[in-house]
Structure 1
């Protein structure tokens, strides 16, 4: 998060994270074949996150910014 260029970028990523947390199964599963970890990917207007769903929470693994 600290590497994002602006407060707006951080706000957009946090908003996407909140949306993904509320319904993590709505996002596509992008795990590698044979992986035991469930890794999903969510897309916003200028950002994307890869995350692992946990009970009532998500663990963000990667953040991408294109703004």
Structure 2
């Protein structure tokens, strides 16, 4: 199944403020990896939560996302580089 990507507003703002093109490329590469296998990363939701929340980590970045039927929703992203 091919997955699309939906980026929440705050995650989009962080993406726009990344320090370099290389940083954006690294974040986009992680998003693409997650898009291709959204359930390969651990589920980190709190006990009793109904929303499936997962986190994926790159070398200098991370994303928190929700897999949906046919898409992943990027809720948060961070850069530590």
Tell me if TM exceeds 0.5.
yes
TM-score range, shorter chain: over 0.9
RCO higher in 1 or 2 (8 Å CA, sep ≥ 6)?
2
Gaps of 5+ in 1: none
Q: How many residues align?
A: 67
TM-score (norm 2): 0.78
Structure 1's consecutive aligned runs of 4 or more residues displaced over 4 angstroms after TM superposition are none
TM-score (norm 1): 0.93
Aligned-pair distance for 1:56? 2.7
**Counterpart in 2 of 1:22?**
36
Aligned-pair distance for 1:4? 1.1
Write the distance in 1 (CA, Å) between the matches of 2:29 and 2:70.
16
Q: Over the residues paired in the alignment, what is the CA RMSD in angstroms?
A: 0.8
Write the distance in 1 (CA, Å) between the matches of 2:68 and 2:61.
21
